[in-house]
Chain A
């Protein structure tokens, strides 16, 4: 058979690297326009950014009112827009945002694969070495975890293997052209990702030290051109450095004492939006920021196991990459030592400031006494503290393992290399299939009511629950919905920078009505506010309040036990309705209220919730499902002197079989059906014709039904 030309070979390689991501991201290809990988807020934020950039195409102002309205948000806070900008023109041309998002993800995989393939080819002298390098580098637990979290900008990591390749070429023949290529690659990385800019720069320095230590006639000249390239890249990034420093002026110092159970608990309460706004002091925010470093460090237990899991925080190079890297180290001998040394050094940095055995506090005393190099780098090297998620440094480790594997493949017998390279590539790319990490695609369906929201008159939107952190996917999706309805939104997923969070805090604290809406699923009455508070919101342009009456169970949880945060309490809903009147939009999934204009400033509202009788069901307090049987579950309520006029609850059934709310008495049996949606939390309300508050039960009609029920409540005559 006629050998393939180099062009044909590259075409085949490009095809292989286009197909492999489909395997790695399976079954995404079947849902390209209707689902994304993404179970945290990052995915929905990025989806919003792509849509927003596309809709604003041609307008290069980084300030936007679309989020954190009316305060406004600076898009530079995202820290990365390069990849999203690639997709923005497609949005402007009318392509679906979800399709663009998934296309960019696959593009990121493809481009990163091609760059690592080129590096492998350079080191192993064959396309099979290229395949192996791409397999080890790209199809790793790290990229899988970031993909699954929806961080497509972290999957676009072609700069790092490309930088390694360009540095090797510069060493071959030092000169201005090749140095310029190094500078251009390093300089352009910043547009896509600040982490990778830092990591690529750090790798460049490590590489330079290694090559200089090798000796040789050209080493001074090579080092000179490398230095010039790095300086050029740094100079090109100066404007961005200013912007980033403005967004995040400094990182707080870190210490072992901070990583205590108490500190950990506080950090997670803040992440879960459980801490009241008034407690968001500069000290609390600084502690939260500081703890991100140990929390985002690789633990020793995870490193030993080198598993393939869905959580990026636990990602390591993975067993397969480590095995193939060690294979390469042995096969290639001395030529591989530099890569091994750099890889080991960066593996040490991924462990963060202190060695943590299981990544939970407290840190063992011996570990606190002997901090790791990361701590010294963080405290003393300029800009290093911006890389405050140490686990992400694993990309450099992966790069070195990929280089080692490719080098090794180039040193074994030629007839074996194709087999090993191909099998290893396929094994790496198919890891999600045979290692079965958990995870599912998230539907990007938008509730029908948003089409009506889009048609409403101009005005800002407040989505309930209003939180300062997106604690659930249901909550974080509202930012994505903003791109659909186009109205400015007070809610914001991007309050990660303490400056923005402080602005949000101050704005909400100035308004009693906003405070009443804050964390509406976890707060309790009293709620007190005045007409002036409502008028102020209208003056600021905020006009619409959206209350979601239904969402799927899969949308409820990002952090710990935060499901209840999605479900406004009956007292809050009563307060909302009594204040704002009838909804202007009502669908099975949502209700939209208008903040009326022209209230008398002195008019006051005081909600105590006295007219609501919340039923103390052990199930709802413990979050356990109840098994409702034909004979019924008695509701522990015995206040016959009170007349109830309404019943409400948040409920989630495992089927759509009806449940009856029943009151039995000697005279008459009253029964009303509660309609459930399968695996969907639904706000249920039924009217009752003034009956005593006793002898109530929930009955299933013919067979037992598993039911989760939250805040079941009766309304007495005065209730809403």
Chain B
């Protein structure tokens, strides 16, 4: 039968498409859709912020720019419980490259349902995944892409804005708080000045709050990655007096 080889080829190509092409096509579609409706998902914000911190800490916003992002995040938070889908003009602050790269990062929570929204653990996993994928704080920082709107900022400013949200902002859900804290801490872990930041964080937030999140970060990381990133989290924990086995 002449059609038989064609049928087998169709079978193989279709399976290959679903394995390789479909996830990328779906993400491209979602990215285009997000641009159309000025909407972005929490996971992507987390990933993009973290990505920026990892790849080019100096490109993160500071001062007024950081405050603007904080304000946008606050607006987005007010839309809870639309859950992951945050209309966010901050999207335009990220470069196209940052957004595309963030969207290409596997997001476990996108396979979760709206009925079972992303768990905090999932969001933490995203942070860990993105952090480790792009290397540890000690890796050489890639060259700064030209024209980044965040250029000249420091992660401290961003971290302060995010932590300000947690400690002084609107009432947060568990998912939101964890996502923001994770983004802040993972972002700051990438920066040499993190210990200074941690002291600041510790002084601003009550007992144990900061220690709790890195503890989970450490627990979620495989042993080989703990050395790369976990040392930073351990410093945080040790500042809080935790005994790390």
B10 touches A327 (CB 8 A): yes
Q: A304-B26, A625-B212, A627-B208 are in contact. Are A261 and B114 (CB under 8 A)?
A: no
Interface segment, one of B53-61, B79-87, B186-194:
B79-87
Q: A327-B8, A413-B4, A561-B173 are in contact. Are A627 and B242 (CB under 8 A)?
A: yes
Judged by a CB distance under 8 angstroms, whether A684 is at the interface is no
B117 touches A331 (CB 8 A): no
Judged by a CB distance under 8 angstroms, whether B11 is at the interface is yes
How distant is B18 from chain A, measured CB to nearest CB, in Å? 4
Interface string of B8-19 (1 = CB under 8 A from A): 101100110011
Q: A326-B11, A623-B174 are in contact. Are A630 and B6 (CB under 8 A)?
A: no
Judged by a CB distance under 8 angstroms, whether B196 is at the interface is no
User: A412 — which chain B residues lie within 8 A by C-beta?
Assistant: 1, 4, 7
> Nearest chain-A residue to B33 (Cβ)?
A357
B211 touches A627 (CB 8 A): yes
Q: How far is the CA of A330 from the CA of B12 in the complex (A)?
A: 13
Interface string of A22-52 (1 = CB under 8 A from B): 0000000000000000011000000000000
Judged by a CB distance under 8 angstroms, whether B241 is at the interface is yes
Judged by a CB distance under 8 angstroms, whether B151 is at the interface is no
A333 touches B3 (CB 8 A): yes
Q: Which of A320-360 contact B (CB under 8 A)?
A: 320, 322-324, 326-331, 333, 357-360
Interface string of A290-320 (1 = CB under 8 A from B): 0000010000110011110111011000011
Q: How far is the CA of A69 from the CA of B115 in the complex (A)?
A: 29
How distant is B13 from chain A, measured CB to nearest CB, in Å? 9
User: B79 — which chain A residues lie within 8 A by C-beta?
Assistant: 261, 265
User: B1 — which chain A residues lie within 8 A by C-beta?
Assistant: 331, 411-413
B212 touches A706 (CB 8 A): yes
B14 touches A322 (CB 8 A): yes
Judged by a CB distance under 8 angstroms, whether B96 is at the interface is no
A629 touches B177 (CB 8 A): no
B82 touches A619 (CB 8 A): no
A619 touches B212 (CB 8 A): yes
Contact of B206 among A272, A300, A310, A618 (CB under 8 A): A618
With most chain A CB atoms within 10 A of its CB, the pick from B11, B174, B211 is B11
Q: How far is the CA of A20 from the CA of B89 in the complex (A)?
A: 50
A301 touches B3 (CB 8 A): no
User: B33 — which chain A residues lie within 8 A by C-beta?
Assistant: 357-358, 364
How distant is A589 from chain B, measured CB to nearest CB, in Å? 25
Judged by a CB distance under 8 angstroms, whether A505 is at the interface is no
Q: How far is the CA of A715 from the CA of B7 in the complex (A)?
A: 74
How distant is B226 from chain A, measured CB to nearest CB, in Å? 17
Interface string of A622-641 (1 = CB under 8 A from B): 11111111110110100000
Q: How far is the CA of A412 from the CA of B6 in the complex (A)?
A: 11
Judged by a CB distance under 8 angstroms, whether B105 is at the interface is no
> Nearest chain-A residue to B19 (Cβ)?
A319
Q: How far is the CA of A305 from the CA of B18 in the complex (A)?
A: 6
Judged by a CB distance under 8 angstroms, whether B203 is at the interface is no
A623 touches B173 (CB 8 A): yes
Judged by a CB distance under 8 angstroms, whether A187 is at the interface is no
A331 touches B3 (CB 8 A): yes
Judged by a CB distance under 8 angstroms, whether A657 is at the interface is no
B243 touches A629 (CB 8 A): yes
B7 touches A327 (CB 8 A): yes
How distant is A62 from chain B, measured CB to nearest CB, in Å? 29
Interface string of A395-423 (1 = CB under 8 A from B): 00000000000001001110000000000
Contact of B23 among A305, A331, A361, A629 (CB under 8 A): A305
Judged by a CB distance under 8 angstroms, whether A481 is at the interface is no
Residues of B in contact, count (CB < 8 Å): 63
Q: How far is the CA of A306 from the CA of B166 in the complex (A)?
A: 37
A618 touches B30 (CB 8 A): no
User: A268 — which chain B residues lie within 8 A by C-beta?
Assistant: 81
> Nearest chain-A residue to B120 (Cβ)?
A623
B85 touches A360 (CB 8 A): yes
B117 touches A560 (CB 8 A): yes
Q: How far is the CA of A626 from the CA of B212 in the complex (A)?
A: 6
B10 touches A633 (CB 8 A): no
How distant is B245 from chain A, measured CB to nearest CB, in Å? 8
User: B37 — which chain A residues lie within 8 A by C-beta?
Assistant: 362, 364
Q: How far is the CA of A122 from the CA of B32 in the complex (A)?
A: 45
Judged by a CB distance under 8 angstroms, whether A703 is at the interface is yes
User: B166 — which chain A residues lie within 8 A by C-beta?
Assistant: 622
Contact of A304 among B14, B29, B178, B245 (CB under 8 A): B29
Judged by a CB distance under 8 angstroms, whether B240 is at the interface is yes
User: B175 — which chain A residues lie within 8 A by C-beta?
Assistant: 561
B208 touches A301 (CB 8 A): no
User: A706 — which chain B residues lie within 8 A by C-beta?
Assistant: 212, 215
> Nearest chain-B residue to A437 (Cβ)?
B111
User: A413 — which chain B residues lie within 8 A by C-beta?
Assistant: 1, 4
How distant is B91 from chain A, measured CB to nearest CB, in Å? 15
> Nearest chain-B residue to A356 (Cβ)?
B33
Judged by a CB distance under 8 angstroms, whether A683 is at the interface is no
> Nearest chain-B residue to A559 (Cβ)?
B115
Q: Which of A240-268 contact B (CB under 8 A)?
A: 261, 264-265, 268
> Nearest chain-B residue to A272 (Cβ)?
B81
> Nearest chain-A residue to B16 (Cβ)?
A323
Q: A306-B18, A358-B30 are in contact. Are A311 and B3 (CB under 8 A)?
A: no
Q: Which of B71-116 contact A (CB under 8 A)?
A: 79, 81-85, 87, 111-116
Q: How far is the CA of A558 from the CA of B174 in the complex (A)?
A: 15
How distant is A585 from chain B, measured CB to nearest CB, in Å? 33
Judged by a CB distance under 8 angstroms, whether A704 is at the interface is yes
Q: How far is the CA of A89 from the CA of B41 in the complex (A)?
A: 50
Q: Which of A555-592 contact B (CB under 8 A)?
A: 557-561, 563
User: A304 — which chain B residues lie within 8 A by C-beta?
Assistant: 22, 25-26, 29
With most chain A CB atoms within 10 A of its CB, the pick from B7, B19, B208 is B208
Judged by a CB distance under 8 angstroms, whether A85 is at the interface is no
Q: How far is the CA of A226 from the CA of B117 in the complex (A)?
A: 45
A306 touches B22 (CB 8 A): yes
> Nearest chain-A residue to B23 (Cβ)?
A305
Q: How far is the CA of A595 from the CA of B19 in the complex (A)?
A: 61
Judged by a CB distance under 8 angstroms, whether A617 is at the interface is yes
Contact of A360 among B11, B84, B115, B211 (CB under 8 A): B84
Q: How far is the CA of A621 from the CA of B213 in the complex (A)?
A: 15
Contact of B174 among A264, A295, A624 (CB under 8 A): A624
A313 touches B241 (CB 8 A): no
How distant is B78 from chain A, measured CB to nearest CB, in Å? 11
Contact of A311 among B25, B112, B177 (CB under 8 A): B112
Q: Which of B150-179 contact A (CB under 8 A)?
A: 166-167, 171-175, 177-178
Q: How far is the CA of A617 from the CA of B209 in the complex (A)?
A: 9
User: A295 — which chain B residues lie within 8 A by C-beta?
Assistant: 114
Q: How far is the CA of A636 from the CA of B213 in the complex (A)?
A: 20
Q: A304-B26, A618-B167, A703-B243 are in contact. Are A323 and B18 (CB under 8 A)?
A: yes
Judged by a CB distance under 8 angstroms, whether A498 is at the interface is no
> Nearest chain-B residue to A363 (Cβ)?
B37
Contact of B82 among A261, A323, A559 (CB under 8 A): A261
Q: How far is the CA of A309 from the CA of B111 in the complex (A)?
A: 7
Judged by a CB distance under 8 angstroms, whether A485 is at the interface is no
Contact of B11 among A324, A557, A559, A703 (CB under 8 A): A324
Q: How far is the CA of A360 from the CA of B111 in the complex (A)?
A: 14
> Nearest chain-B residue to A633 (Cβ)?
B207
Q: How far is the CA of A633 from the CA of B242 in the complex (A)?
A: 11
Q: How far is the CA of A89 from the CA of B238 in the complex (A)?
A: 63
User: A362 — which chain B residues lie within 8 A by C-beta?
Assistant: 37
A624 touches B206 (CB 8 A): no
User: A626 — which chain B residues lie within 8 A by C-beta?
Assistant: 207-209, 212
Complex A-B: 13 CB contacts under 8 Å? A300-B29, A304-B26, A311-B115, A314-B111, A323-B14, A360-B39, A364-B36, A618-B206, A622-B174, A622-B177, A627-B237, A627-B242, A634-B206
Considering the complex of A and B, which 5 residue pairs feature the smallest CB-CB distances, nearest first?
A: A623-B174, A311-B113, A319-B18, A331-B7, A323-B14
Q: A330-B6, A624-B178 are in contact. List 9 more A-B contacts (CB 8 A).
A: A265-B79, A304-B29, A306-B22, A411-B4, A626-B207, A627-B208, A628-B208, A703-B245, A706-B212
